[in-house]
Amino acid sequence: MNLPELHQGLKQQRYIADERTLQALRYSMLLNKPILIEGPAGAGKTELAKALSRFLGRKLIRLQCYEGIDEAKALYEWNYQKQLLYIHAQNADRKSWSAAGRNIYTEEFLLTRPLLQAIRQTNPAVLLIDEIDKSDEEFESFLLEVLSDWQVSIPEIGTVGATSIPSVLLTSNSTRNLGNALRRRCLYLYLDYPDMERELDILRLYFPSLNETLGRRITAFVRKIRVEKLKKHPSISEVIDWAAALNCMEAETLTAGLVQETLNILIKHNEDWQKITAKIQDKDWFGGISDL
């Protein structure tokens, strides 16, 4: 698959990727290698996996990481209730423990979780391992077997190899440093917020009738916000929501009053809201936007 085809395919799924992102996806598919995607929250990392799965027509399997996640939530666990019912039924038939115990660790009692589901798909899936930095180092080490050998070890059954190799995207907001062993097994992509022109292209994609001047002023204002030291910068999805609201209001330009009225769509912390509200009242800070 060449880059123009990949770019157009993602664009049809409402995702505009830059050349670096397209190259990383292409090499990942050529080499069957995972991609580790780092970058700020809201820059489009998760949405990239969703758009890729829709474009390729592949099932998206998502593993949301969090502190304390373990094999039982990521790989598999045994259906203990069903096992107990089975043993109880076997005991009622006066079968020995050894006879009953041999049969409780089989596929019938296995509950598959995202990692095992992904490698057992008949057709390759897209596996999204989201916010890997929220997991601990032990879980990160556990992933290495899956990502390097495309197999998992289940003590009661043995080694389970992949039926198909998924396209794997791991995302990280860099809340902790990831180990070199994981990085060696992945291609790398840093996904930042889009520049003004690409964000404007995203808005045009979602709102073909959006006033051009308004679109440019939206992206210029958001860019000014993102260089400020805030608790949370506006994500791409929040900018889309803001543009949708302004579009519904039939706004043709941005005024300080209109921005302040709709600022809660972009800003989600009171300290940030107060800081940006003060900036809006500063004509030198806000004034340049109205000249675009």
The least confident of 86-100, 173-187, 214-228 is 86-100
Q: What share of the chain is helix, strand, coil (3-state, %, to 5)?
A: 55, 15, 35
Higher local confidence (pLDDT), 42 or 91 = 42
Verify that 177 and 242 share a domain, yes or no: no
Q: What's the whole-number mean pLDDT along residues 60-86?
A: 87
Helix (H) / strand (E) element for 26: namely: helix 19-31
How far is it, in rounded angstroms, from Cα 272 to Cα 276? 6
Q: Indicate the DSSP class of residue 44.
A: S
Please tell me the predicted confidence (pLDDT) of residue 149: 86
Please tell me the predicted confidence (pLDDT) of residue 91: 67
Contact at 8 Å (CB) between 61 and 167? no
Q: Indicate the angle between helix axes 196-206 and 212-226, nearest 10 degrees.
A: 130
Tell me, yes or no, if the pTM score tops 0.95: no
Please tell me the predicted confidence (pLDDT) of residue 152: 84
Verify that 61 and 206 share a domain, yes or no: no
284: which 2 tokens?
């030198």
Verify that 184 and 200 share a domain, yes or no: no
Q: Band of the pLDDT at 59, cuts 50, 70, 90? A: very high
Does the pLDDT value for residue 200 go beyond 90?
Answer: yes
Verify that 99 and 225 share a domain, yes or no: no
Please tell me the predicted confidence (pLDDT) of residue 85: 80
Verify that 81 and 224 share a domain, yes or no: no
Average pLDDT of every residue of the chain: 89
Q: What's the whole-number mean pLDDT along residues 54-59?
A: 96
Verify that 127 and 271 share a domain, yes or no: no
Closest CA to 46 of 67, 65, 71, 32: 65
Q: Which residues pair with 37 in a beta bridge?
A: 171, 189
Task: Give how far the C-alpha of residue 176 lies from the chain's centroid of Cα atoms, to the nearest Å.
Answer: 17
Residue type, 218: I
Q: How many separate domains does the chain show?
A: 3
How far is it, in rounded angstroms, from Cα 135 to Cα 140? 7
Q: Which residue has the tokens 């809340």?
A: 175
Verify that 15 and 48 share a domain, yes or no: yes
pLDDT tens-digit series, residues 230-276: 999 999 999 999 999 998 898 888 888 899 999 999 999 999 999 99
Does the pLDDT value for residue 292 go beyond 90?
Answer: no
Higher local confidence (pLDDT), 96 or 88 = 88
